[in-house]
Every structure is written in C-alpha cells, then in structure tokens.
C-alpha cells in the first residue's frame, strides 16, 4: 500500500514496515528481540526461534525494498534477560548478511533496561527525537513541533466484525493528523486496540496484504 503523507510517498508492507523511497529508508518499530528468551528465563514455557523467524522476515522486507538504511523505532531488545547467547548469535548472523546496511536505533523504554545492542552489530544508537523533515522519528507516539511523528510503542491493532459474530484482531498502521504509529514488528508482542477518529487513517495487515479499513470500528 503506497500513499502520500506530508507530501512524501510512503509504502506500507505487510511485513510490518514502512519504506520511505526518497531516502531509501526502511522503518520498523518494536522488534523486541529476545522476548521469548526473557520469558523462558522467567520459567514461562514458550517456543524458541521467534527472533530468528522475525529476522528472516526483516531480511525479506529489506530484499523487497532494497533499502540502504534501517531505522529501528525503539524497543529493540526486549529486556536484559533477552540478551541470551542464542539470541545475540542469531542477530549477529543476520547482520553478517546485511553488513553494508546503515542501521539507526532510536532508544525506547525497553532499551533503557535492556541496554544498547553489542558494538559488533554496528548499530548507531541515539535518543529521540531524530528530525528528518518532514518527519520526526521517535519511540513514543507524541506530537512534535518539529514535524510529523513516526513512532511505535503502542502496538496498534484493529478489531473487525463480520457476519455471524465473526471477529478478527489485526495489527495495523495508524495515521492521525500529527502522528503515525507502526505495528509492532516482533511476533511475540501484544496489541492495543485503536479507535480511530474521523480524521485518522488506518491500514490493517490481513493475509499478507495491507488494506485500508473504515473508521467506524467502535
């Protein structure tokens, strides 16, 4: 799904990323690498391999867009317990296949506890905001006087209703007049149902496609 925001062409991908062609930049939010490892460390039985699966999806998205830069909009590593050797090894292996990719990480609330990625991953880390007119990149979806905010943090989703009491909850991109919120990229993240206003735009991810949905979702 390609649309125009603040005079710029953006492409929304079902892999849960936004591509800004003008700057060859791919944006994703809330990867939460190592969340499964964190849960297992707390004696919660969850399957392994989720970070590797998410990294494979990220590679497919980079291949599709041919992006030269990746911007991570915060909450990259889920927690300090998530820095398990197998998690960091998976990320390092992924990075070796994308060694020329410029990666910028904007710190989120989870990153304060988890810490920055290891230096050998060659990921530049900074605090918000990062201003690249007309956009402002940050983790928290708050308005900025310096431009239109692109952020994450809330893991937006929409709940759709069909005939026969059918119901589906789908991750989505939410664009308000001053703030755009990306869906959580990590596959083990929760979701917060959004209730868009008349001036908002919502694009849901369903069966490998990005689709515009109506605003009457309450």
Residues 18, 26 contacting (CB under 8 angstroms): yes
Question: 76-106 pLDDT, tens per residue?
Answer: 985 666 577 888 899 999 999 999 999 999 9
Inside any domain, residue 63:
yes
Q: What's the rounded Cα separation, in Å, for the pair 53 and 10?
A: 25
Mean local confidence (pLDDT), 64-86 = 85
Quote the longest CA-to-CA distance of the chain: 53
Inside any domain, residue 217:
no
Is residue 207 over pLDDT 70?
yes
Question: 37-47 pLDDT, tens per residue?
Answer: 554 444 343 44
Residues 27, 20 contacting (CB under 8 angstroms): yes
Any idea which of 28-32, 53-57, 210-214 has the lowest mean pLDDT? 210-214
Inside any domain, residue 126:
yes
Predicted confidence at residue 67, as pLDDT, reads 98
Predicted confidence at residue 92, as pLDDT, reads 94
Mean local confidence (pLDDT), 11-19 = 97
Inside any domain, residue 130:
yes
pTM over 0.85: yes
- For the chain, the C-alpha Rg in angstroms (whole number) is 17
Domain limits for position 175: 2-212
Q: What's the rounded Cα separation, in Å, for the pair 10 and 18?
A: 7
Is residue 163 over pLDDT 70?
no
CATH of the domain at 134: 3.60.21
Residues 75, 189 contacting (CB under 8 angstroms): no
Predicted confidence at residue 59, as pLDDT, reads 97
Inside any domain, residue 117:
yes
Average pLDDT, the chain: 88
Predicted confidence at residue 166, as pLDDT, reads 66
Residue burial 36-64, b: 16+ Cβ < 10 Å; e: rest: bbbbbeeeeeeeeebbbebbebbeebbee
Inside any domain, residue 218:
no
How many domains is the chain built from? 1
Predicted confidence at residue 82, as pLDDT, reads 57
Inside any domain, residue 112:
yes
Inside any domain, residue 159:
yes
Query: What percent of the chain is modeled with pLDDT above 70?
Result: 85
Predicted confidence at residue 139, as pLDDT, reads 97
């Amino acid at each position: 799904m390609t649309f125009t925001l603040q005079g710029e062409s953006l492409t929304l991908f079902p892999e849960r990323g936004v591509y800004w062609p003008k700057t060859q930049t791919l944006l994703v939010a809330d990867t939460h690498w190592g969340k499964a490892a964190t849960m297992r460390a707390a004696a919660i039985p969850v399957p392994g391999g989720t970070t590797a699966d998410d990294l494979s999806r990220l590679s497919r998205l980079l291949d599709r867009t041919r992006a030269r830069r990746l911007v991570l909009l915060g909450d990259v590593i889920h927690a300090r317990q998530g820095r398990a050797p197998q998690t960091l090894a998976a990320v390092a292996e992924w990075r070796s296949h994308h060694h020329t990719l410029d990666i910028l990480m904007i710190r989120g609330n989870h990153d304060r506890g988890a810490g920055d990625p290891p230096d050998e991953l060659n990921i530049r880390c900074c605090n918000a905001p990062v201003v690249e007119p007309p956009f402002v990149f940050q983790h928290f979806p708050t308005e900025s006087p310096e431009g239109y905010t692109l952020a994450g943090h809330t893991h937006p989703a929409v709940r759709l209703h069909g005939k026969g009491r059918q119901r589906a909850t789908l991750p989505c991109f939410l664009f308000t007049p001053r703030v755009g919120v990306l869906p959580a990229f990590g596959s083990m993240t929760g979701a917060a149902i959004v209730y868009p206003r008349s001036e908002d735009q919502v694009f849901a991810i369903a069966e490998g496609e990005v689709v515009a949905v109506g605003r009457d979702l309450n």
